[in-house]
């Protein structure tokens, strides 16, 4: 008899730190032949929440050998997840159990987002940058658009250069904060590779015991490259988010840090173990 385990996904797929409660649900899930995400309480999903869904689904589908079934999706949530290609790009790990009505189907003309896109090598990243430039030039002045492209190239490159995971992906979404007269662009990138510790430890053996030590080392410019060059990407992203009133969230294994700019850093330890690296970046720009 097949054993099914249903996980009630909490309505936290919009909040970076609150997402830890979702990871806790995943960690506590019993062994099963089929996992199900019950999305009935989920009212909204942001890019980093999508990356969390994928990370969790990759973990659970790896355990069960079956894609996680996603059910009880609110129509607008379902339409959004369909719009961003979640069930295509992540089809090996997530499948919708619900049917999306025609009237909710995607509008390919919207220019608010870059769909979930796999990152397998440099050509993917340059293609992502090109698409992002086309899409977000509708909303962003050149300077802010270039900030976005800088961030994208640096955080996406880390996936294929350091993680060892060929199935990492990126998602970008633009929001308008009308009250503040701002455009907010959120970028989320995730992989289930070797993580920051796994990458740095291959070349530096005395950084520390805790995954957080490795995150801090990465933010200080330590690189896994043997050429002596490198280690600029995350620090450049940190500078850019500081000048765009944004943030960078960097999570790997059981540690994370949130930075709003150099010396404005909050660290998190003893989180739920999650392989690989998950990154969220937010940039603000005038509307």
Partner 1 sequence: MRYNMEKLGSALGLPDRLFLLRDKGEEAYPHLRAFLGETPEGQPLVLVFSANQLVDASFADESIVRLGRELVDGEFGQRCLLLEGLTEDSVHNIEAAIHLQNLKLAFLAVESSGDWRTIGHLEPSLQQALEILARRDRLTTVELAELLDLAVNTASNRLKRLYDQRLVRREHEISETGLQYIYYFWRWTED
Binding region for partner 1 (CB under 8 A) = 122-123, 125-127, 129-130, 133, 142-143, 146-147, 149-150, 153-154, 157, 161, 221, 229-233, 235-236, 239
Residue 127 or 266 with smaller CB distance to partner 1: 127
Residue 149 or 258 with smaller CB distance to partner 1: 149
Residue 121 or 208 with smaller CB distance to partner 1: 121
Q: Rounded to an integer, what distance in angstroms lies between the CA atom of residue 254 and that of residue 267?
A: 11
Closest approach, Cβ 70 to partner 1, in A, equals 34
Closest approach, Cβ 222 to partner 1, in A, equals 12
DSSP 30: P
DSSP 103: G
Closest approach, Cβ 227 to partner 1, in A, equals 9
Q: CB–CB of 152/186 below 8 Å?
A: no
Residue 193 or 233 with smaller CB distance to partner 1: 233
Residue 130 or 287 with smaller CB distance to partner 1: 130
Which residue has 């969220």 as its token pair? 280
Check residue 127 and give left, alpha or beta (phi > 0: left; psi -120 to 50: alpha).
alpha
Pick from 50, 284, 27, 36: nearest CA to 169: 50
Closest approach, Cβ 133 to partner 1, in A, equals 7
Q: How far is CA 243 from the centre of its chain?
A: 22
For residue 168, give the 3-state DSSP assignment.
strand
Closest approach, Cβ 85 to partner 1, in A, equals 21
Q: CB–CB of 43/75 below 8 Å?
A: no
For residue 217, give the 3-state DSSP assignment.
helix
Residue 165 or 238 with smaller CB distance to partner 1: 238
Query: Biggest alpha carbon distance in the chain?
Result: 59
Pick from 185, 133, 126, 130: nearest CA to 160: 126
Give the H/E segment covering residue 54.
Answer: helix 47-64
Residue 17 or 239 with smaller CB distance to partner 1: 239
Q: Rounded to an integer, what distance in angstroms lies between the CA atom of residue 67 and that of residue 30?
A: 16
Q: CB–CB of 96/70 below 8 Å?
A: yes
Give me 230's structure tokens: 């490198």
Residue 39 or 281 with smaller CB distance to partner 1: 281
Q: Rounded to an integer, what distance in angstroms lies between the CA atom of residue 131 and that of residue 149?
A: 10
């Amino acid at each position: 008899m097949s054993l099914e385990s249903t996980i009630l996904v909490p309505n936290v797929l919009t909040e970076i730190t609150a997402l830890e409660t979702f990871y806790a649900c995943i960690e506590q899930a019993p062994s099963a032949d089929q996992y199900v995400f019950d999305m009935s309480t989920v009212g909204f999903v942001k890019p980093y929440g999508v990356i969390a869904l994928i990370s969790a689904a990759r973990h659970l589908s790896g355990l069960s050998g079956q894609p996680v079934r996603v059910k009880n999706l609110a129509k607008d949530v379902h339409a959004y997840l369909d719009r961003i290609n979640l069930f295509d790009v992540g089809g090996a790990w997530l499948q919708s159990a619900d049917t999306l009505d025609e009237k909710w189907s995607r509008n390919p003309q919207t220019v608010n987002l870059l769909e979930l896109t796999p990152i397998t090598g440099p050509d993917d990243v340059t293609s992502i940058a090109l698409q992002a430039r086309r899409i977000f030039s509708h909303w962003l002045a050149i300077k802010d658009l270039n900030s976005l492209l800088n961030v994208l190239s640096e955080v996406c490159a880390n996936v294929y250069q350091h993680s060892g995971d060929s199935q990492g992906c990126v998602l970008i979404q633009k929001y308008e904060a009308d009250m503040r007269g701002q455009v907010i662009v959120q970028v989320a990138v995730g992989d289930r590779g070797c993580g920051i510790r796994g990458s740095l430890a291959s070349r530096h053996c005395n950084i520390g015991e805790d995954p957080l030590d490795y995150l801090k080392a990465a933010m200080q410019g330590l690189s896994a490259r043997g050429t002596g060059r490198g280690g600029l990407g995350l620090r450049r992203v940190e500078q850019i988010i500081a000048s765009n009133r944004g943030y960078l969230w960097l999570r790997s294994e059981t540690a994370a840090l949130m930075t709003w700019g150099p010396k404005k850093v909050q660290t998190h330890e003893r989180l739920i173990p999650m392989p690989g690296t998950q990154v969220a970046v937010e940039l603000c720009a005038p509307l």
